Structure 1
Amino acid sequence: MNKRRKFTALLGILICVALLMSCKKNDTGEGTYELYYVNVQTQALEQEEVQIEGDTTEEKIESMLKELKKNPEDVEVKSTFPKKIKVEKWELTNGRLGISFNQEYKNVKKVPELLFRASLVQSLIQIDGVDSVKFYIGGDPLCDANGNEIGAMNDEYFVQNIGSTLHTYQSVDLELYFANSEGDKLVTETEHVRYNSNTLKEKLIVEELMKGPSAETYKKVIPMDTVLLGVSVKDDVCYVNFDNGFLNMTDIQPEVTIYSIVNSIIRGGSVSKVQILVNGDSNLKYQEQVDLSQPLTEREDIVED
Structure 2
Amino acid sequence: MMKKITAVCLLLCLLAILAACMPGKRTARINLYYNNEDNSEILVEERTVQMPRGKTLSQVAVEELLKGPTKEGLKSNIPKGTRLLELKVDNKQATVNFSKEFARFPGVMAESFVVISVVNTLADLPEIEKVLILVEGKELIAPSGNPYGPLGRYDIEKINRDLNKVAVTLYFTGENAMYLEPEVREVQKDGRPLEQIVVEELIKGPTKPGLFRTIPEGTKLLSIEVKDGIAYVNFSKEFKENHWGGSTGEAHTINSVVNSLTELPGIEKVQFLIEGKKEDTLAGHMIFDEPFSRNENIIKKE
- Higher relative contact order (Cα pairs below 8 Å, separated by 6+ residues): 1
Higher Cα Rg, which structure: 2
The alignment's TM-score, normalised by the length of structure 1, stands at 0.43
- TM-score normalized with structure 2 length: 0.43
Structure with higher helix content: 2
